[in-house]
Amino acid sequence: MPKKYDPYQNMCDIMDEAASFLGYAKRDYEPLKHPERELVVAIPVEMDDGTLEVFQGYRIQHSSVRGPCKGGIRFHQDVDLNEMRALAGWMSLKSAVVNIPYGGAKGGVTVDPSKLSRNELRRLTRRYTAMISPIIGPERDIPAPDVNTNAEIMGWLMDTYSMLKGYTIPGVVTGKPVQIGGSLGRQEATGRGVMLTVVDYVNYAKIEPATCPIIVQGAGNVGLTAALLLKEKGFPIVGLSDVTGGVYNPAGLDMERAEKHIKGGNMIDTAILHGGTKRVTNEELLELDCELLIPAALENQIHEGNAGKIKATVIVEGANGPTTKAADQILQDRKIVVVPDILANAGGVVVSYFEWIQNLDHLSWELERVNQMLADIMHKAFIDVISQMNQRNVTMRMAAYLVAMERLVEATKLRGIFP
Ligand SMILES: NC(=O)c1ccc[n+]([C@@H]2O[C@H](COP(=O)([O-])OP(=O)(O)OC[C@H]3O[C@@H](n4cnc5c(N)ncnc54)[C@H](O)[C@@H]3O)[C@@H](O)[C@H]2O)c1
């Protein structure tokens, strides 16, 4: 993978291209190429052995033109400002594609959380929350989980923010435990949205699930949920991985065994092997035989070095930004369809929106209602993107950018520029 790849610049380049399709002048969309607000914090944490470490943290608010900023918090050793900017920008586009009244944001801390104890992780989360507290809140910017953060961490965030304000404010964060204001269905929402998008796509392309073997990279919240739901829908899951590597079986993996093993807190290893299943590296996994590939781990996994070797005919992006710009061109030349991240993984932000509404109105909705409303919104977004794609004869990624940019630019024009 080329080291200098810049996902934020890539996003701006696609915006330029989309703007020329839409006939926009520079002034119509230039603000979208600049995050509205960027906060960088240095977070001191007392470690269990009495030493003190200082971690770098970020909260980037890309756009609030369509509503409060919204986006996850990532704890990962590779987090940096440019990655945060790209992730925040994609959130603005994603909220616009599914047409919910949010802007986009992202936050993170440069840390390998697997090296912290639970108490260190809690102190880090609380101090980070306190340091970004001046710019977050239910009306201005609402965080959520992302890579290496979960419901428990969102609960600590909600508690810290509430302690600082002096009363309980569940609406400051989504993806919380259900017992303290989380929504039913939120934890599975991104993976469920990926499944709904795959089902919409195969119906559109007239592909039978049973003849559509799937490989999923990243057996985390998004990837494992999507794999399990797709298996229920009749798709064979032939490959699955985590950061330690993957497993592959052209006859289909034993997903019950995999689910038990992974949900038991284990990394993928030989315990999941069964007749005909072999261990593979993450690099090999992406290039193995399948019909549909779901990268659901991190950015830049499909790049110019491997895009020419991918055997899938369809890629559905569960992760944010898994495909580089150079890879996108190679895939397009090879007629491999890419269902883009800003559509395919939008299920999480949609149910976050439902959670926020429930918090603001002191309500608690049934799971069936949440899942049905999610399905309706995802389907409508899919139709909007497919219509643009066919109308303008563009890739699905460009079509999704066109849908999002039209909504963002329209909102900017209606609001006008202050003062
Ligand atoms: N959680 C959400 O609601 C949500 C919403 C939208 C998009 N996303 C995106 O989905 C992706 C995954 O997020 P998640 O919440 O499932 O995270 P997670 O931490 O639950 O899971 C990440 C998975 O990827 C694996 N992984 C990490 N590095 C890897 C590597 N280099 N190669 C292969 N596998 C690797 C991990 O072992 C783990 O299985 C991210 O790009 C995230 O931004 C998440």
Give the nearest ligand 1 atom to 298 CA: 41
Protein residue closest via CA to atom 28 of ligand 1: 243
Domains in the chain: ranges and CATH: 35-171 (3.40.50.10860), 188-344 (3.40.50.720)
Return the pLDDT at 55: 98
Q: Are 214 and 238 in contact (CB under 8 A)?
A: yes
- Say how many Å lie between the CA of residue 211 and the centre of ligand 1: 27
Q: Which of 106, 278, 380, 413 is catalytic?
A: 106
Tell me the residue type at 16.
D
Q: What is the CA radius of gyration of the chain?
A: 21
Q: For 234, left (φ over 0), alpha (ψ -120 to 50), or beta?
A: left
Reply yes or no on whether the pLDDT at 155 is more than 60: yes
* 92 neighbors 72 (Cβ within 8 angstroms): no
pLDDT confidence of 271, banded at 50, 70, 90? confident
Q: State which of 121, 186, 242, 374 you would mutate to test the pocket of ligand 1, scoring each by most atoms of that ligand within 8 A of its C-beta.
A: 242
363 CA → ligand 1 middle, Å? 30
Q: pLDDT band at residue 1, thresholds of 50, 70 and 90?
A: very low
CA distances from 242 to 150, 216, 245, 380, 419 (A): 17, 9, 5, 32, 49
CA of 410 to the centre of ligand 1 (A): 32
**Strand duo 292-295 + 237-242: pairing:** unpaired
The pLDDT > 70 percentage for the chain reads: 99
The CA distance from 79 to 69, in Å, is 20
CA-nearest residue, atom 10 of ligand 1: 319
CA of 196 to the centre of ligand 1 (A): 18
Instruction: Name which residue sits closest to atom 17 of ligand 1, judged by CA.
Output: 147
Quick one: which of 256, 258, 260, 263 has its CA closest to 240?
258
Determine the residue of 100, 215, 279, 298 to mutate for testing ligand 1's pocket, defined as the one with the most ligand atoms within 8 A of the Cβ atom. 298
Residue 114 CB partners (closer than 8 Å, separation 6+)? none
Q: Whose CA is nearest to atom 13 of ligand 1?
A: 147
Structure tokens at 378: 């995802």
Alpha carbon of 242 to ligand 1 centroid (Å): 9
Average pLDDT, the chain: 96
pTM, 2 dp: 0.97
Atom 44 of ligand 1: nearest residue by CA position: 146
| Pocket (CB within 6 angstroms of ligand 1) | 145-148, 190, 217-223, 241-243, 282, 296-298, 318-320, 345, 348
Q: What is the per-residue DSSP string for 282-333?
A: HHHHHTSS-SEEEE-S-TT-B-TTTGGG---SEEE--SSS-B-HHHHHHHHH
What pLDDT is attached to residue 5?
77
Count CB-CB contacts under 10 A for residue 101: 12
CA 191 to ligand 1 centroid distance, Å: 11
User: What does DSSP say about strands 337-339 and 314-316: parallel, antiparallel, or unpaired?
Assistant: parallel
pLDDT tens sequence across 10-47: 999 999 999 999 999 999 999 999 999 999 999 999 99
Q: Exposed, middle or buried: residue 411 (CB in 10 Å: 0-12, 13-18, 19+)?
A: middle
Instruction: Verify whether residue 263 is a known catalytic residue.
Output: no
Taking only the tens place, the pLDDT of each residue in 187-226 is: 999 999 999 999 999 999 999 999 999 999 999 999 999 9
Helix axis angle for 7-22 and 81-97, nearest 10°, is 30
337 has which bridge partners? 314
Nearest CA to ligand 1 atom 40: 319
Q: Give the integer Cα–Cα distance in Å for 184 and 187.
A: 8
Mean pLDDT (whole number) for 363-378: 98
Length of the chain: 419
Q: Which residue has the tokens 């919409």?
A: 200
Predicted confidence band at 2 (pLDDT cuts at 50, 70, 90)? very low
Q: What is the dihedral of CA 246, 190, 379, 350, to 10 degrees?
A: -170
Residue-level pLDDT at 4: 66
- Say how far apart CA 244 and CA 16 lie, in whole Å: 38
